[in-house]
Structure 1
Amino acid sequence: MHFNEGGTWALLYLASEWIIRLVMVIVVPVRRSPDAAKGWLLLAFFLPWPALVLYILIGRPSYPSWRIERVLQLPGLLRGALARTAPFSLPVAGSSVVVETRELVEKLGRFPALSGNQVELLPDYDKSINALIADIDRAEKHVHLLYFIFSDDRIGQKVMEALARAVTRGVTCRVLIDAVGSRPWGRNVIAQLTASGVSAHVVLPIKLRWHPARVDLRNHRKIAVIDGRVGYTGSQNIVASDFKPGIVNRELVARTQGPVTTQLQAVFAADWFLETQETLLIEDITPEQVSAGPVQAQVLPSGPDYPGSEIESLIVTLIYGAYKRVVMTTPYFIPDASLLKALETAALRGVDVHIVVSRVADHRLVNLAQRSYYDELLDAGVKIHLFGEGLLHAKSFTFDGGIGIVGSSNVDIRSFILNSEVSLIVYDQETTARLYAEQESCFASSELLDLSVWRVRPAVVKLCENLARLISPLL
């Protein structure tokens, strides 16, 4: 055989492509959703070698062995939080939707529902940052921050200056920032924080090595805890609202007081241990909690460190249990088959279902993919609102006026399976009413899609949307 002949090399290349296709058929469907498997196999069929390279880089939703070993120690770390909040734990009894939801969330995320909380919703971008800085300036013992994006722009500088002031008062400050989310600013932020005496670390740093970990498994959480008494979580990062040129973000943050803040503290402590191997005992970083208000609340952490798609399981269950109204706001909407069916079924049985997404697109391919779902949802009776005043980055859900969710999780496969996320679930009529009022304000700034008008968009646009949908499980 003469290997310098073009025909021989072409034959070998063709054979290699078919070997890749056959191997992917065997490997890809293992422990993977049908939608994700379909996306990978389509990519492998048309582009075998690029699919193989991409699969090696991001095809397996798992962490390296050293991290998995640390994850196994998390239940022990969380026991302190459970003991600390035991007096506020709510009994599991009865068959109401709220009681069943509390039990489900506890099984998914290990934290029970707690009484005695106060939850304040902060939809104003600057006021939310100013409230956080004011709480940092009041800190006496500990300040803990965990953010996907932490920049060194004017917003980041204000927060870093507050942390530096806290350190000079003898307050211990710890900060975690995601390596990819904060990549443009991470080196400067870590250097400035370290120089001022803050203990700061990058989460999931990207390192080139044999058998690399997936670079797209990110910590997307947004958590701040001050003295173990005040907590923040939601969609807002430590960055200016207009950090993307031509786009202004609209966010939503929940400020908590009471025992549920201990659960946010525990999530931070778990992530701190995973990155640094330093154990922060809840007893040392959280005071004895007292009742701060009438709200029942619960924290649900989710991601590859947990056994299943926790937040998606909760959302799908609540949609099926809804009898009056379901509203969700999200910047990215790429549902899998189970969520899509739940939304369509709820609308068909008379539930008033609203989805608020942004007209503005900061990720073109994701936007095209999510648009491909609008037709069938509208046809089922789901109301879709296109938010027109900037990028609606807030992630919120209300169900029948009694259950509300605020957190970091988008409604897409990445947030459901790949990213580490955190959600605050509240069981309170008044708080949920305030959350729904915020969602209604988004309705007022949105265009309600009409099915007949939507269907007359250009054929080439429909084609692009459908092509993007084919790979949407990979986005």
Structure 2
Amino acid sequence: MADRIDLSLWILVADWLIRIGALLWIPARSRPAAARSWLLLVGFVPLLGLPLYLLLGHPWLSRQRILRQDQASSAIREGQLPQAALQWTPPEGSVAHETVPLVGRLGAFMALRGNAVRLLDDYDASLQSLLDAIDGAHQQVHLLYYLMFDDAVGERVVAVLERTAARGVRCRVLLDAQGARRGLRRYRRRLQAAGVELHAMLPGGLRWRSSGRADLRNHRKIAVIDDHVAYVGSQNLAEAGFVAGHPNRELVARVHGPIVAHLEAVFASDWYLETGEVLAVTPARPSHADDTACQLLPSGPAYPFPNAGDTIAALIHLARRRVVLTTPYFVPDDAIIGAMRIAALSGVEVQLILSASNNQRLTAMAQHACYEELLACGVRIALHRPGFLHAKHLSVDDDVALIGSINLDIRSFALNAEVGLLCYDRDVVADMRRIEADYLADAEVVALEAWRRRPAWRRSAEGIARLADSFM
């Protein structure tokens, strides 16, 4: 009997020590919203909450990776000096006038004029354009992708890399260790045998100390060929229907001009983070086809600030007439929700375009919890169908477009390495507006009164899912 009392006492003491320790430890190392969620979990189930927090509670990277990113950012700032003559100065009073210096301080890249940008929203045509560019390479091919599947597209990508490497072209490939695990498992030896230099990003496992938290991912999608042409956007190296029942719709920017060197610098930075090898980046020449001003926005846990979240919140606040946000996953932080609410209440047309189908059940439930507040203040929400709208972009007034790999969720803002291309150009925004209009033509509008009539159990489930998304 005494032994049972002693055991119960020890468990009680341990529970309260964990709770008190969590109260002192967690708020100093997590965002307030995340800290509240973790403290709630630890308070309910201390013996489960503590190990989960130690494993997943803080988006930490190894000191080596943070140091290398800092070194890479410094090198990027210095490496742009020869391009100073191409630096673009935005007109005073414009959205770009405040955005350009913010993005420059966050991500290290200046805005450059002299670029040509073409938006590709046809899945197969975009993929074929990339494969043709690789097939025509003369010097080097650099691919940086989150996902590569072992499907027909994976086979085509590997085949073109084999042909290109056989011609003596230097081919380097970076693939996320988790997102591309099927492609890495099937094609690693084949690509290496062909002379392609291949590395898995954020491998984790037994190398976690030199990597970081287990669920950190490199979510970027970038291709650079011969310092001449580059691709950036939302499309992975996989068939459109790689998730059964959810055929993807994407948007990719094909670019020429000096911004190509900046995309090359992002690839070189990630190559350095993974290998320690420094790659030379050759400044690209201005395009003769167009004179679009562009700027890169890299973000991720290696940076001191949430670059993507801060920039998107600023763009929404700066909008004067209209802002359109397109994303497959919408579980943003309070800053984005607040910016959208303030913009809508100020008379700005705020249009949110989401996918009616979603391959992430928990994420879908969490984003539903955001709808009522936004609808109540005048934000328009449209659910695109058919298929899965996986494109990630936004447009502000008639002046600024952002396209890349950035979802409007906390994972993209805090855990993933992402990249976005800012285009300060009315023609590019007009092209994006046409694509947005095409989405809206096949979309269901969410009405506030109808949404409020959903069952109480759904409200509860959505609220729990929204809370769970803050565990980071």
TM over 0.5: yes
The residue that corresponds to 1:452 in the other structure is: 449
Q: Deviations over 1:109-129 (max 9, x none)?
A: 110111001111111111111
The residue that corresponds to 1:464 in the other structure is: 461
Conserved in 2, the CA contact under 8 Å of 1:81 and 1:263?
no
Moved more, 241-250 or 211-220: 211-220
Conserved in 1, the CA contact under 8 Å of 2:300 and 2:414?
yes
The residue that corresponds to 2:426 in the other structure is: 429
Helix, strand or coil at the partner of 1:423: strand
**Take 2:411 and 2:7, find their aligned partners in 1: how far apart are those partners?**
39
Shift of 1:210: 8.2
The residue that corresponds to 1:218 in the other structure is: 217
Moved more, 18-27 or 155-164: 18-27
Which of these residues, 363, 366, 369, is aligned with residue 369 of structure 1? 366
Superposed, which structure 2 residues align to 1:166-177 within 5 Å? Answer: 166-177=164-175
> What TM-score comes out, normalization by structure 2 length?
0.96
Change (3 A) 1:371 1:259: same
Match of 2:8, as an amino acid?
A: A
1:397 paired with 2:394, answer yes
Superposed, which structure 2 residues align to 1:110-149 within 5 Å? Answer: 110-149=108-147
Q: Deviations over 1:200-253 (max 9, x none)?
A: 000010123686830111111000000011111111110111111221111111
Which of these residues, 177, 193, 196, is aligned with residue 191 of structure 2? 193
The residue that corresponds to 1:38 in the other structure is: 36
Moved more, 205-214 or 381-390: 205-214
1:443 paired with 2:440, answer yes
**Take 2:285 and 2:96, find their aligned partners in 1: how far apart are those partners?**
27
1:312 paired with 2:309, answer yes
**Take 1:380 and 1:165, find their aligned partners in 2: how far apart are those partners?**
55
User: Unaligned regions of 5+ residues in structure 2, if any?
Assistant: none
Helix, strand or coil at the partner of 2:22: helix
Helix, strand or coil at the partner of 1:473: coil
Match of 1:107, as an amino acid?
A: R
Shift of 1:94: 3.2
The residue that corresponds to 2:162 in the other structure is: 164
Change (3 A) 1:467 1:187: same
**Take 1:87 and 1:34, find their aligned partners in 2: how far apart are those partners?**
43
Conserved in 2, the CA contact under 8 Å of 1:108 and 1:310?
yes
**Take 2:125 and 2:287, find their aligned partners in 1: how far apart are those partners?**
26
Conserved in 1, the CA contact under 8 Å of 2:115 and 2:292?
yes
Which of these residues, 87, 90, 96, is aligned with residue 89 of structure 1? 87
Moved more, 177-186 or 402-411: 177-186
The residue that corresponds to 2:416 in the other structure is: 419
Match of 1:235, as an amino acid?
A: S
1:271 paired with 2:270, answer yes
The residue that corresponds to 1:301 in the other structure is: 298
Q: Deviations over 1:10-42 (max 9, x none)?
A: 332232222222111111112532211112112
Conserved in 2, the CA contact under 8 Å of 1:80 and 1:282?
no
Q: Deviations over 1:352-405 (max 9, x none)?
A: 111111121211111111100101100011001112211111101000021000
Q: Deviations over 1:272-322 (max 9, x none)?
A: 011011110113xx5545544121111110011211011111111111111
Conserved in 1, the CA contact under 8 Å of 2:66 and 2:303?
no
Change (3 A) 1:239 1:81: farther
Conserved in 1, the CA contact under 8 Å of 2:257 and 2:285?
no
Helix, strand or coil at the partner of 1:29: helix
Moved more, 60-69 or 168-177: 60-69
The residue that corresponds to 1:232 in the other structure is: 231
Match of 1:278, as an amino acid?
A: E
**Take 2:208 and 2:138, find their aligned partners in 1: how far apart are those partners?**
45
> What TM-score comes out, normalization by structure 1 length?
0.95
**Take 2:90 and 2:402, find their aligned partners in 1: how far apart are those partners?**
20
Match of 2:235, as an amino acid?
A: Q
Please tell me the root mean square deviation across aligned C-alpha atoms, in Å: 1.8
**Take 1:407 and 1:426, find their aligned partners in 2: how far apart are those partners?**
11
Change (3 A) 1:72 1:341: closer
Helix, strand or coil at the partner of 1:313: helix
The residue that corresponds to 2:23 in the other structure is: 25
Helix, strand or coil at the partner of 2:133: helix
Helix, strand or coil at the partner of 1:201: strand
Shift of 1:263: 0.6
How many residues in Structure 1 have an aligned counterpart in Structure 2? 471
Match of 1:73, as an amino acid?
A: Q
Helix, strand or coil at the partner of 1:306: coil
User: Unaligned regions of 5+ residues in structure 1, if any?
Assistant: none
Change (3 A) 1:197 1:142: same
Shift of 1:96: 2.6
**Take 2:404 and 2:334, find their aligned partners in 1: how far apart are those partners?**
23
Shift of 1:86: 2.3
Match of 2:306, as an amino acid?
A: S
Conserved in 2, the CA contact under 8 Å of 1:388 and 1:445?
yes
The residue that corresponds to 1:180 in the other structure is: 178
Helix, strand or coil at the partner of 2:206: coil
Conserved in 1, the CA contact under 8 Å of 2:77 and 2:109?
no
The residue that corresponds to 2:76 in the other structure is: 78
Moved more, 66-75 or 350-359: 66-75
Match of 1:269, as an amino acid?
A: A
Helix, strand or coil at the partner of 2:217: coil
Conserved in 1, the CA contact under 8 Å of 2:208 and 2:214?
no
Change (3 A) 1:80 1:240: farther
**Take 2:84 and 2:187, find their aligned partners in 1: how far apart are those partners?**
38
Conserved in 1, the CA contact under 8 Å of 2:297 and 2:419?
yes
Moved more, 404-413 or 98-107: 98-107
Match of 2:255, as an amino acid?
A: T
Superposed, which structure 2 residues align to 1:321-332 within 5 Å? Answer: 321-332=318-329
Shift of 1:155: 0.5
Moved more, 322-331 or 355-364: 355-364
Which of these residues, 336, 357, 363, is aligned with residue 360 of structure 1? 357
